[in-house]
Structure 1
């Protein structure tokens, strides 16, 4: 039996209302949980890029990519395993300001985790951290005992290691 792996699916599409709903429906029908989702503009003008992370088999991911490509606004979809991509996530941690000055250890945690303070106010300060999910989870675990007022983590963003002639591929698709 084929084993589950983490796959990053990249979907290039026109930016149309309702597409996200239809794409998520494809995963819902197959009972596959989306671990992470990010949508942004791509390197091509007026083309959006979805980055979707799932844990499934290669057979299922091929099937899903095929279904996604049947959506009329979708120009092209690809999938990669982790070893084929460069990826990260970002997180923000909101912490009570007094801790920054009263708890010497907080400053050490910030320094050691290669995170940065993005704002400081009278009541709180905000730490930003980009990296692998495991690095963000490690920072979260270290800060949790001090009390985290708010926490948010982005979905994965990624680029492929292999050269992908996405622009020329998409232009070909748009012409046809």
Structure 2
């Protein structure tokens, strides 16, 4: 049975790694729902958050395959209950519409923020789960949304062991710290 998984990959910062990781999914006909890449608390180490909807068996296989890449330090998968996750969404609406339809009440009700006000438009920000940003999108439709964008998932695990602890436990030759 398919369910939503987040694969977290820690790697060295190398050109072309994103391409090699996505090829692993492409070869198995697995669609990536969301993907974010950022630096971590350790210099030179980057984190990939990859969200897919798949069976546990296939997620296990693809995670093992990713971990075989030379630049990858660690790859693990999680279900939603094992992580704290959010996405950010930005909505651009005409300023006239925002004024006429009292956007302030919507912002308070949906815990959203007005992040930019221009002569012709306003930009609203909402952080939350996909369902949260989707609900606000539906509410803002009558405001004539000019643009909408949502980031990929970012997450932090509920585990106590931090990346730095994991790296310190590795044999000296396996990972050289800068």
Instruction: Tell me, yes or no, if structure 1 residue 94 matches structure 2 residue 92.
Output: yes
The TM-score normalised by the length of structure 2 is 0.93
The TM-score normalised by the length of structure 1 is 0.94
Number of residue pairs the alignment of both structures matches: 173
Q: Structure 2 vs 1, CA of residues 44 and 102 (structure 1 numbering), >3 Å: closer, same or farther? A: same
Task: Say if 1:75 and 1:173, in contact at 8 Å, map to a contact too.
Answer: no
Task: Say if 2:98 and 2:143, in contact at 8 Å, map to a contact too.
Answer: no
State the match for 1:84 in structure 2.
82
State the match for 1:117 in structure 2.
114
Instruction: Tell me, yes or no, if structure 1 residue 50 matches structure 2 residue 48.
Output: yes
State the match for 1:12 in structure 2.
10
Shift of 1:107: 2.3
Q: Secondary structure at the match of 2:41?
A: coil
Shift of 1:174: 6.9
User: What stretches of structure 2 of length at least 5 have no aligned partner?
Assistant: none
Task: Say if 2:42 and 2:164, in contact at 8 Å, map to a contact too.
Answer: yes
Matches within 5 A, 1:148-159: 148-159=145-156
Q: Deviations over 1:16-74 (max 9, x none)?
A: 11100010000011111100000000121110000000111111111011100111110
Shift of 1:165: 3.1
CA RMSD of aligned residues (A): 1.1
State the match for 2:138 in structure 1.
141
Instruction: Tell me, yes or no, if structure 1 residue 166 matches structure 2 residue 148.
Output: no
Q: Secondary structure at the match of 1:148?
A: coil
